[in-house]
Amino acid sequence: MDATFAELGITTPRGAYWSLVFFVVLGVNACVFAAVRHEYLSALVGGTWVLGVALGTLRALRIIVRLDAREEAARLAFQLTVGQPIVGIVPVVLLLLP
């Protein structure tokens, strides 16, 4: 069973992974739409950014899953990692959409 790292919102690593998948799919779709509009450089930069945020978040989640969920530092790290795709991918999506 997944450890619970927060009381509200996304509370488990499984939820964090699903949230990451949602934001990556959203970001990749925005990059595809930019490429269809022949904005190749914007699409490439946006896609690279989305991929970088996704890999960084995956790396952080793998480390956090091994920590004890009862420690306050692990809980804070989990909450910050859950927010990383929101802060990293949503602005790219907003910049790429017309």
pLDDT tens string 49-78: 999 999 999 999 999 999 998 999 999 999
Domain-embedded: residue 22: yes
Q: How many domains does the chain have?
A: 1
Return the pLDDT at 54. 97
Return the pLDDT at 14. 93
Domain-embedded: residue 98: no
Angle at CA 60, nearest 5°, toward 77 and 57?
105
Mean pLDDT for the stretch of residues 13-41: 96
Task: For residue 39, give the H/E element and its range.
Answer: none
Domain-embedded: residue 6: no
Domain-embedded: residue 83: yes
Return the pLDDT at 7. 85
Domain-embedded: residue 36: yes
Among 94, 85, 15, residue whose Cα is nearest residue 50:
85
Tally of CB atoms within 10 A around 56: 14
For residue 42, what pLDDT band results from cuts at 50, 70 and 90?
A: very high
Distances (CA, A) of 61 to 12, 30, 83: 10, 25, 12
